[in-house]
Chain A
Amino acid sequence: MTRILLSSVAAAAVLASASTAFAQTEVQFWHAMGGNLGEAVNTLVDGFNKSQSEYKVNPVYKGSYTETLTAAIAAFRAKQAPHIVQVFEVGTANMMAAKGAVYPVYQLMADAKEPFDPKAFIGPVYGYYSTPDGKLLSMPFNSSTPVLYWNKELMQKAGLDPNTPPKTWPELGEMAKKAVAAGAKCGFTPQWQTWTMIENYGAWHNLPYATKDNGFGGTDIELKFNDPARVKFIQMLADWTKDKTFVYGGREGKSTALFTGGDCVFHVASSGSAAGIDKALGGTSKYGIAMMPYSPDVIAKPQNSIIGGATLWVLQGRPAAEYKGVAKFMSYLASTPVQAKWHQETGYVPITTAAAEVTEKEGFYKKFPGREVGVQELTLNPPTANSKGLRIGNFVQIRDIVDGELENVWSGKKDAKTALDDAVKAGNDQIKRFDAANK
């Protein structure tokens, strides 16, 4: 009897201590930033928490972008959604179409009476995540764009000038072949191949990815990335696989290991990989960053690139008072010192022009040459209908389809034209389903 009495007293004490009234309102922030990016997020959130005492943002790493989104969806359906969830850019159309689940940022800021200036943001970054009439739906957080990384040592070994990267794809091919002949294990490998070699190739060369302004103008669209220019480009890469001028390293970010391991000479990858590459290769004397190559027979000068990365979406379903804390956190994130620090620490592009200017003034770009390339690519020219970005429903499945078809090309199962045509056909099916589900 005494044992039961003692244990129930202990249980009651534990429960009582757990339910002490919180002085702070907690804001749940689910993100997909692992490794050193995750540490940068924690530092950033710490700064906010220390700057005021009313709200406490709790950053939780939920895994990959896909895992984070899946967790948020499940939580929302169980009415336990986090306040903020980081969703990759390809989820934009799906998030926008989710009726009643999303709390648009422009509305959040207005409701919480937080100052908010749309003009402070960099054009392509803001435009990707707003409605056609300029209302921001989600807060840009970590935007990146593909850049060309090159290994200076391997270029030197091949007798090439390590400070002159290739400007065009034919040039890159020649340099890569020379490097492989001089002993490099691989000439070129792309990261996130659907994003760099198909989507951004289109924007860079002013070619459409889909009808209706790449999906900005509606959901009943058709895919158009199997144009002759891209077929020719992919076929060229497929031919390069034969002598290791091109080596496929796997989906998403897996191929970066080939570059950081010193196997590949050239790597087209996210500007957000800069910090990790710098750490792995050991400083800017070992690698360089430049603009992506272009195909001079398709376009005389490159157009502009489009962003990748992710944004922060605010979910409905929490008590109204808590959203004021969310709005304050958003203001904090967009503030110049925070954006400048985040940009410098990670390689993601600064989302406000002020942050870019401050970084320049601090001499950061002189110390780390190449980090300004991302912003330069994004702002190279005013975006056309083909280079504002992409807004495609069921984009995760479509990217999977394209990934699979490209893998068929690399393994020799299909030629580029068949693969891209098949990808467009299967992708159009996905778009029809998305359209039907969201009418």
Chain B
Amino acid sequence: MEKRVTFNERWLPYLLLGPQIVITLVFFFWPSGQAIWQSVLIEDVFGGNSKFVWFENFAQLFRDNSYAHSAQITVVFSFLVAAIGLGISLLLAVMADRIIRGATAYKTFLIWPYAVAPAVAGVLWGFLFNPSVGIIAWMLQGIGIEFNYVINGNQALLLVVIAAVWNQISYNFLFFLAGLQSIPKSLIEAAAIDGAGPGRRFWDIIFPLLSPVGFFLLVVNIIYAFFGTFGVIDSLTKGGPGKSTEILVFKVFNDGFRGQDLGGSSAQSVILMVVVIALTVVQFRFIERRVHY
């Protein structure tokens, strides 16, 4: 039986939806439309000298070494954030699932990092790893590792991965925990009776049943790594040192607002929009039907 809400007045549903639609139009469609329009122009910053150039901005991007480099960094970064984030939060969820006493306390502490804004997370981890005054940097120096993310590009990338993963762990943890708790206990008990150890029970029963949740989280994490990590990068490294942490979304900001290249920046923006639309389509087509909460 289909669930349907019926309204007595015909205009009431439109009125109720109205505010949301207005917000979506103003804050999503309008800027996107403007980005698409600006991506086919080359203009000076103040808007005085606009030239229509078809797809010259896009062609320029594909010729540009630094765009390819930025795309490469983004792929590496997203892979690390998704893999490490999902791995750690799955581990935490499996452990939290078995706790009986103090479960609420553990869950609260594990959920809390999600409430921290990305920029604040960046500053936080920046302080901990600061080459002059950071506690963790000092401890690393004590065991002989010279940590300076201002100079070393790989260390900077590692640091932003850590900060981004820390911020997102709670979200993954919650979904994994809910997924775990929706697995019928009878299946696991049956396996245990049949002699399967905890490892086999996990890999052969729990993991396959978690895979819809896992795939959903994978897509969400990739979108997060692409876009939601802007705050972390801006407050920690600003794309440096030497462009080693300049992910695509940060390059959009850098080229547009610092470099004032609005045409090129809008072209990059449009490309990213296509990427996220594709990812969302994948998610809706393959996942939505199969996830159980």
Q: How far is the CA of A336 from the CA of B44 in the complex (A)?
A: 36
Cβ contact within 8 Å between A404 and B241: yes
Please tell me which stretch of B71-79, B217-225, B257-265 contacts chain A, meaning at least 4 of its Cβ atoms lie within 8 angstroms of it. Answer: B257-265
Given A400-B254, A429-B64, A433-B264, decide whether A407 and B259 contact each other with a Cβ distance below 8 A: no
Q: How far is the CA of A99 from the CA of B51 in the complex (A)?
A: 13
B24 within 8 A of A: no
- B284 CB, nearest partner CB in chain A, Å: 35
Cβ contact within 8 Å between B259 and A438: no
A401 and chain B: residue at smallest CB distance: B66
Q: How far is the CA of A76 from the CA of B264 in the complex (A)?
A: 20
Q: How far is the CA of A70 from the CA of B46 in the complex (A)?
A: 10
- Interface residue SS majority, chain B: loop
Cβ contact within 8 Å between A77 and B258: no
B280 within 8 A of A: no
Contact indicator per residue, chain A 96-123, by CB within 8 Å of chain B (1) or not (0):
0111110000000000000000000000
Q: How far is the CA of A69 from the CA of B257 in the complex (A)?
A: 9
B242 within 8 A of A: yes
- Of A100, A249, A411, A436, the residue contacting B152 (CB under 8 A) is A411
Chain A residues 46 to 71 lying within 8 A of chain B, measured CB to CB, are 66, 69-70
What chain B residues lie within 8 Å of A438 (beta carbons)?
A: 44, 49
B43 within 8 A of A: yes
B47 and chain A: residue at smallest CB distance: A77
Given A394-B259, A396-B260, decide whether A411 and B242 contact each other with a Cβ distance below 8 A: yes
Given A404-B242, A437-B44, decide whether A397 and B259 contact each other with a Cβ distance below 8 A: yes
Q: How far is the CA of A254 from the CA of B237 in the complex (A)?
A: 13
Contact indicator per residue, chain A 240-282, by CB within 8 Å of chain B (1) or not (0):
0000000011110010010000000000000000000000000
B212 within 8 A of A: no
What chain A residues lie within 8 Å of B44 (beta carbons)?
A: 94, 97-99, 437-438
What chain A residues lie within 8 Å of B152 (beta carbons)?
A: 411
What chain B residues lie within 8 Å of A407 (beta carbons)?
A: 151, 153, 240-242
Cβ contact within 8 Å between A99 and B264: no
Q: How far is the CA of A255 from the CA of B47 in the complex (A)?
A: 36
B97 within 8 A of A: no
Contact indicator per residue, chain A 393-434, by CB within 8 Å of chain B (1) or not (0):
010110010011101101101000000000000100100010
Q: How far is the CA of A142 from the CA of B248 in the complex (A)?
A: 35
The count of chain A contact residues (Cβ–Cβ below 8 Å) is: 36
A425 and chain B: residue at smallest CB distance: B65
Q: How far is the CA of A407 from the CA of B132 in the complex (A)?
A: 18
Cβ contact within 8 Å between A73 and B258: no
Q: How far is the CA of A429 from the CA of B264 in the complex (A)?
A: 13
Cβ contact within 8 Å between A408 and B242: yes
The count of chain B contact residues (Cβ–Cβ below 8 Å) is: 31
What chain A residues lie within 8 Å of B132 (beta carbons)?
A: 257
Cβ contact within 8 Å between B240 and A404: yes
- Of A73, A249, A410, A437, the residue contacting B51 (CB under 8 A) is A437
What chain B residues lie within 8 Å of A429 (beta carbons)?
A: 64
B150 within 8 A of A: yes
B43 and chain A: residue at smallest CB distance: A437
Contact indicator per residue, chain B 241-267, by CB within 8 Å of chain A (1) or not (0):
111000000000011011111011000
What chain B residues lie within 8 Å of A248 (beta carbons)?
A: 150-151
A101 and chain B: residue at smallest CB distance: B46
What chain B residues lie within 8 Å of A400 (beta carbons)?
A: 254, 258-259
Given A400-B254, A404-B242, A437-B49, decide whether A73 and B151 contact each other with a Cβ distance below 8 A: no
- A28 CB, nearest partner CB in chain B, Å: 17
- Interface residue SS majority, chain A: helix
Q: How far is the CA of A77 from the CA of B257 in the complex (A)?
A: 14
Most A CB within 10 A of own CB, among B46, B150, B240, B255: B46
Cβ contact within 8 Å between A251 and B48: no
Chain A residues 24 to 38 lying within 8 A of chain B, measured CB to CB, are none
Chain B residues 1 to 53 lying within 8 A of chain A, measured CB to CB, are 42-49, 51
What chain A residues lie within 8 Å of B151 (beta carbons)?
A: 248, 407, 410-411
B46 and chain A: residue at smallest CB distance: A101
Q: How far is the CA of A413 from the CA of B44 in the complex (A)?
A: 35
B60 within 8 A of A: yes
What chain A residues lie within 8 Å of B150 (beta carbons)?
A: 248-250, 254
- Of A98, A257, A396, A433, the residue contacting B258 (CB under 8 A) is A396
What chain B residues lie within 8 Å of A436 (beta carbons)?
A: 42
- A310 CB, nearest partner CB in chain B, Å: 16
- B34 CB, nearest partner CB in chain A, Å: 11
Q: How far is the CA of A437 from the CA of B264 in the complex (A)?
A: 11
Q: How far is the CA of A436 from the CA of B43 in the complex (A)?
A: 9
Given A408-B242, A429-B64, decide whether A73 and B46 contact each other with a Cβ distance below 8 A: yes
- A126 CB, nearest partner CB in chain B, Å: 25
Given A407-B242, A408-B242, A433-B60, decide whether A397 and B261 contact each other with a Cβ distance below 8 A: yes
Cβ contact within 8 Å between A101 and B260: no
- Of B46, B242, B254, B263, the residue contacting A76 (CB under 8 A) is B46
- B138 CB, nearest partner CB in chain A, Å: 15
Q: How far is the CA of A408 from the CA of B65 in the complex (A)?
A: 16
Contact indicator per residue, chain B 261-284, by CB within 8 Å of chain A (1) or not (0):
101100000000000000000000
Cβ contact within 8 Å between A94 and B241: no
What chain B residues lie within 8 Å of A254 (beta carbons)?
A: 150
What chain B residues lie within 8 Å of A411 (beta carbons)?
A: 151-153, 241-242
What chain B residues lie within 8 Å of A396 (beta carbons)?
A: 258-260
Given A251-B240, A404-B242, A411-B153, decide whether A94 and B260 contact each other with a Cβ distance below 8 A: yes
What chain A residues lie within 8 Å of B49 (beta carbons)?
A: 97-99, 437-438
B241 and chain A: residue at smallest CB distance: A407
Which A residues contact B (CB, under 8 angstroms)? 66, 69-70, 73, 76-77, 94, 97-101, 248-251, 254, 257, 394, 396-397, 400, 403-405, 407-408, 410-411, 413, 426, 429, 433, 436-438
A-B contact pairs, 21 of them (CB 8 A): A66-B257, A66-B258, A70-B257, A70-B260, A77-B47, A94-B44, A97-B49, A98-B44, A99-B44, A99-B49, A100-B46, A101-B48, A248-B150, A248-B151, A249-B150, A405-B242, A407-B241, A413-B153, A433-B42, A433-B264, A437-B44
Which B residues contact A (CB, under 8 angstroms)? 42-49, 51, 60, 64-66, 132, 150-153, 240-243, 254-255, 257-261, 263-264
Sample of 10 further A-B pairs with CB below 8 A, known A248-B151, A250-B150, A400-B259 = A69-B260, A94-B45, A97-B44, A100-B48, A248-B150, A397-B259, A400-B258, A404-B243, A426-B65, A438-B49
Q: Identify the 9 closest CB pairs spanning chains A and B, nearest first.
A: A101-B46, A407-B242, A397-B259, A407-B241, A99-B48, A404-B242, A98-B46, A100-B48, A408-B242
